[in-house]
Structure formats: structure tokens, C-alpha cells
Structure 1
Amino acid sequence: MSTEKNILVLNCGSSSLKFAVINSTTGDTKITGLAERLGSKEATITVKYKGNKQVTELTKNNQHLGAIEYLVSELHANDLSDSLTAVGHRVVHGGEVFTSSAVITDDVIAAIEETSGLAPLHNPANLVGIKAAQATFPSLPQVAVFDTAFHQTMPQKAFMYAVDNDLYNEKGIRRYGFHGTSHYFVSREAAKHLQQQDDQTSVITVHLGNGCSICAIENGNSVDTSMGLTPAEGLVMGTRSGDVDPGLIIYLMNQHNYSAQQIDNLLNKQSGLLGLSKLSNDCRTLEDAVFGNDEAQQQQAKLALDVFCYRVAKYIASYTVALSHLDAIVFTGGIGENSNYIRSQVISQLSILKISLDEQQNELARFGNAGEIQATDSQFRVLVIPTNEEWVIARDAAQLSESK
């Protein structure tokens, strides 16, 4: 029997379920898994343990529960189940109810359900994972960690939309922000790197992946972020448009008979890098095309990446307004950590702020050499820091379950 104390981290979506067992103290990952295409005949679960990968079909009618049952069997088979001390759940939307993580009770579940209207694709799926885990691990504390919680320190001038105030007072319509666990983690890691206290560190964190967001963090607190009521606002993303004129929606509905569902599909699934390039939502594919020999694809890919990088640079510049001082710009996420091309294109557009890169250090950061990549004459530091949202969830779950 293991004496190690580990946290099971669950991220349950409408058609997927990610999981990991993480040592909350060290961040070491013991086992990871991903169940995909849940609800279809092609549903599978992939488990990685000690360098080995195993893919299995899921045939159970309730495939979310089937995925968790398979996960449990893997934990037993690898002597990990007895080491679990809590289950940490990623929950996308906490509204204004949750300003921090919370031990899951009936009241917490009810509050998550009430907030589901703000995240109809995410919160109900998160609840499926919570209830399945409660049934499977009845003796373990369950903790909800909210994507929106870190941003609850934003001032009203940052989170209010300039629409009828009754929409906020009566319906909770405001900017909430997402990727909170990522922005929180890398800002704390940046403070360590800079040898500063969290509450004395101000950074702009740039999370770039298939979903993208930027956060202005003043003395450790989120004071503005690019995502809004939903994750669709802000930067250009893999398949999301980011900021568009609201009149576009009215125009498409009135002049071209688009339904609400067609608008939703357009802005969330058919836009962004995919929509601009007509090639892919994957930044790596587009970078390959930019440097490839197909001239038509080259032009399409370059346009998509130019728009993407311009929007990022524009947001970084604008977020200096939210800060009294700036210690560093921090890149993270799959693109932010791995694409020296994107980082170079973004920072090159910030010369008015006297920010520049050491391109050799920028390229080295692609290969896991995270750290500072600015040139010696750059006015501000530029960091690359790998994010670890699962570790944040594990640490919060460990701390709250122990205090309980």
C-alpha cells in the first residue's frame, strides 16, 4: 500500500474527460488519461503510465461513468488508488459566487447549476464529472477549482460591459474571464523567477493555445483579462473569432438568415486561425505552410498568423494601462511556450514600448529552456514559463481537503 498522498484531477467536458494523478507537493504526475468522443460509437480512452500508452474503446452506454470506471480499474491495477487523498475538479464558470476554490457540498453543486446558464456547454459537463466521481469515490473530499475565480479581483471598470446596467444587476451579464488557473500559476512562477513577492509583482501573462487569453496582473491580482462573459471574447484563437463587431451578428441574422446556432458555430468553431487560413486551427501546421513551397497556402497561413500576432501585441500594449508598473511579459500555453515564431512576431510589434528579444534565447525556449528571452537593451523582461493548471487544481484540492 502506498503512503504517498496524491490528488486525482478531473476535467470533464461534454464529449471528453481528462484526468491525472498528481503529487500536490512536487507536481509529479503519476498517471494521465484522456477519454475522447464520448457519446459516440468511436469513444476511446487513452491512459499513459510510466512511458506506456494504452488505447481502449468505451462501449458502456453512460460513457462518462464508463471512463471513470476504467480510470478506477487502472488506479487499482497500478497501486495508486490507496494513495488518493482528494479529487480536484476543473469547473469552468463560477460566476460571482466563487472567488476561490471550494470543497464540494450540495450548496456548491446548486450554485454551479445556477451558473450553468453562463456556460451551458461546460458547467453541466463539469457536474457530470463531479457526480460520477462522488459516486465512485464516496469517501474522498471533492474540490471544485474555477476558471473564473482568479479574475474576481477585476475592478468594475474592467468587468462591466457598456450596456443597460439592468443586464448586470438582474442577469449577471459582465466580463468574467477564463484560464484563471493558468494565469495564476505562471504569475506566481514569474514572481519566483524574478525573486519577488507575489503581492509586489506585476506582469502581463499571455496564454496562447487553441484557446487564448491575456491577463494584466497588478501586485498578484488579476485586474483585467481578454475573455469575457464567455471564452469567445478577446484574442484570435484556434477556431474562435475573438473580438468582433456585435453588429456582425445582427447583420448575418437579418440579411443572411443565420440562426443563433449557425452564429454560434461560426464564431466558436469555424473562425480564428482555421477560418482565416482555411487550412488548420493548429499553429504548427500554419507555420509549416508559411515556410513551405505552396504559395497559395503560404499566403493564407501568413494572413492568419499575422492577424493572430497583431491582436496579441495590441492587447499586450493596451494592458499596460491597467498596471502601475510592469515587471515582465510572460508567454505560456502550447503556442506561447513552443512557438518562437509567434513570440518574435508579437514582440516585434511592441518596439514603441522598447521591448525586444534575443532571438537565440527565443529559439532555445522552444526546446524546454524556459526563462528570459529579452534582448539586453529591452526595457522589459520577457519570460517563457510552462503552465501547469493541473498542479494548481491538485494543490487547491489538497489544501482545502486537509483544512476540512
Structure 2
Amino acid sequence: MFKPISLYIGLRYTRARRSNHFISFIALVSMIGLTLGVAVLITVLSVMNGFDRELKNRVLGMIPQATVSSTQILTDWPVLANKIEQHKHVTGAAPFTQLQGMLTAQGQVAGIMVTGIEPEYEKKVSIIQNHMVEGSIDQLKKGEYGIVLGKRMTDALGLRMNDKVTLVLPEATPSPAGVVPRFKRFTIVGIFSIGEVDSTFGYIALNDASTLLRLPDGAQGVRMKFDDIFQAPVVSKEIVQELPGNFYASDWTYTQGNLFSAIQMEKAMVGLLLLLIVVVAAFNIVSSLVMVVTDKKSDIAILRTLGASPKTITRIFMVQGTVIGVVGTVAGTILGVISALSIGKIVGWIDTTFQLHLFDVYFISYLPSYLRWSDVVIIVTLSFLLSFIATIYPARRAAKIQPAEALRYE
């Protein structure tokens, strides 16, 4: 069987037991360091991707990705919504009317942002229906004054389904007793559980919101959902330009853009710092090969005497270093992929078993992990590249050894 001599000898050096055990130890440390570096990098980036995905799905599933509003109440919002949905990047449109106020019940008070919605349209743009614990947004009907609240809000106020709660609006109403705020009694017809937003948002029927604000039946604007949320600023402006009348657009980058930018920056910095582990492992490969070259001077001299060219000697030690890099990278990739796919369950088990409550302060109750194969490919490529570069200096140093000098004292 044909075997290139450089490949054959390089693999033989890799498998052979060296007389200098310290060199073997350094090579093993290099391989283990590369394995751990790749595994940790894949795992941590998967967790960062998981948090990024949860934010997109949960936070942007509740707040509008973009809105089209006017200076006047939109009494013909169904026509506007249908026209907006005709845009190729829009997957849904729904009317809304927002009002801020306070909820009072059983002596407790909490601030809230209340949104008037049409349930059938809201399902196109929001994830709320998928996270209902009790009841349904379909119970929000004109004139019945039902309200859908988050679980954290109901727990804080000590409320349950079908309980009464009073909404206090900041708009004052003149009366013989003076100026008093506006009150309205609502019945809880649904409870949802999504995360941190549970204590912030509430939903009522669109027409009920108009009645509370003493406005004609209609909507303040239309919220939109896109096939790509990062195109929201561009697409929303395009839609406004195509609409006749005085409309203006707003999108999620105004309210949540800083949060997502911070996550992307954090992911980049964490990835860069963890990549240093792989760089250190690559430097260990350099030191390991330098010591191997020193240990194998006589072997190199004999090979040169038998006719091996400097290029052949270079390739022998590049093969040896590359094998260390390949084994470490492959092992790290396998370990990292397994860890990324199972870390949520492992951390969840630890949290439950030891009652640590690690995620009570976050908007989710578990550790999310989302493995992107594109990240794995980039990490593996960089690891291979660094490992290969690390072999160049020791291999070229081996090729410069002169046979006469190496065998003088043998």
C-alpha cells in the first residue's frame, strides 16, 4: 500500500511512546486544552443563542414588531390592516389602542399598560394565545369589560379567574366633589404566563378601550408582524410610504433595540475571550513540537542522511502537530455538541434537586440552549486553522537541522 513517507513517519511519531514522558504530557495537555476550549466555546455560544432566541420569541412576541399609527382614530382599521397584510414581508396585522393606568384589588395597587385588541386579529401578531394558563383572549367581547392579565400580576394582587379588578385611568373627570380619576370595573377572563412581561401588560376588548378613552369606535394604530424582525425598520417605512394619508411608523428597535444590541455584543466578547483558550492550546502544540524536535534530532539527521529533503522533514512534524489538533478539535466538537443539546436539562435537574432557584430573576425559568451549526463550523474551522499554524514554526525548525551537527556527539 502506498504511504507518503512524511505521513507515515509523522503518524508513527504520534503513536510512539516517547522516552521523555514530559513531552508526552505536554502533548496530552495540548490535546485536552484544545478539546475543552472547543467544547466550552460551542456550549457557551449555544446558551447565548438560546437567550437571544427566547428574547425574540417572548419579548417581541408580546410587544409590537412595528406599528402604523395616525394622528386621528382609525375607524376604518380593517381596510388598513388588509392593505398592510398584502406586503410580501408582513405575516399579520392587528389593531390596537393603548392606555396606561393602575389596577387595584384587595387593597393592592399595580401599574399596568393595557392594550385594546381584537382577538381574531391579535392571534396573527402575538404569542399570547399560546401561553394562556386559564381562559382565552376570545372572551374579550365588546361591552362585557373583561380583562386578560399576566400570572405575576394576578399573583401579586391575589386574584384568580372571574375575580373583579378596578382599572384607574390618570385622566381626571370633573364632578361636584372635585376632579377625580376615572374608574372602571373589569372581570378577569384570562391569565397568561410568559415571563417578566406578565407583570406589565394587560388586554381588554378594542371597543372597551375606545369607550374608556371616550373616543369613537376604532383603533389608535395597527401593529405588524414580519417574516424577519430585523427588517422591521425598513419594511415599516416602505409600508408608510405606500399608504395614502398622514401615517407614521414605529418599530421594536426604538424600545428594545439596545437590549438586543447588548446581547449581540456580549456574545461576540464572550466568544472572543473563550477563543483564547483555543489559542493557548495551540501555543501548547508549539511548545510540544519544539521539544519533540529537540528530542528527535538524531532521527532527523539520519533521515536527512538517507535522502529526506527539508520539505519532507517539515511535513513529518506538521503531520504530528496536525493530528493533535484534529483529535482535540473533533473530541471537543463532539463533547460541545452533546453539552449544548443537554445543558438545559442538566442545569434544570441541578436547580430542582438542590433548590437553587437560579432563574427566578430572569424572564424564563430554565437555561435555554440553541445549537447553531454555523457556529460549530466556524469554531471547528478556526481551531483547525490555529492548530495548523502552530505546527509551522517547529516543523521549519526541524527542517533546518544539519545532520553533521546533530550526529557530532552521538
TM range (shorter): under 0.3
- Bigger RCO of structures 1 and 2 (CA < 8 A, at least 6 apart): 2
Give TM-score, length-normalised by structure 1: 0.20
Give TM-score, length-normalised by structure 2: 0.20
